[in-house]
Amino acid sequence: MNSKKIAYVFGPMSGVPEFNKPAFHATKTFLVNKGYTVLSPADTPIGLTQAQYMDISFAQIRACDIMFALPGWNTSPGAIAEVAYALKIGKMFFRRYGSNSMVTFTPNLFATVN
């Protein structure tokens, strides 16, 4: 049984060079070094439909202990959907603060609507 806390990383992918994978992977390393097991949409296979990606993401969100935001998450329709779901099921949210710290925050979905 895994005694480590599980973190789910979320942020923009579509329309970002390399699907933002360098940022996802750097964040994964940051969280692993803090003792977390990390779930990330950047680790899913290529070639699925958007609905399949979201289904996998929602399952990972249910399995995680915390949600960890990448910059620009509020510009991504997929990340906004993930946040709405995670808020509904009571997940805690964190983001990076400085080079080696993390802080909690409460996402404001209404601020993302254009």
**Distance between CA 86 and CA 93 in Å, rounded?**
9
Question: Which candidate, 103, 99, 80, 83, places its Cα nearest to that of 91?
Answer: 83
Q: Which one has a higher pLDDT value, 58 or 3?
A: 58
CA–CA gap between residue 6 and residue 68 (Å, rounded): 10
Segment 45-87, tens digit of pLDDT: 999 999 999 999 999 999 999 999 999 999 999 999 999 999 9
Asked if the structure places residue 1 within a domain, the reply is no
How far is it, in rounded angstroms, from Cα 92 to Cα 104?
A: 7
Asked whether residue 12 is domain-assigned, the answer is yes
For residue 44, give its domain range: 6-108
pLDDT of 25 strictly over 50 = yes
Note the pTM of the prediction, 2 decimals. Answer: 0.92
Q: Judge whether 113 lies within some domain.
A: no
Q: Is residue 65 part of a domain?
A: yes
User: Which tokens go with 15?
Assistant: 């329309």
Of the pLDDT bands very low, low, confident and very high (cuts 50, 70, 90), residue 113 is: very low
Give the pLDDT band of residue 2 (cuts 50, 70, 90).
Answer: low
Assess if residue 114 is contained within a domain. no
What's the CA gap between 97 and 68, in Å, rounded?
Answer: 12
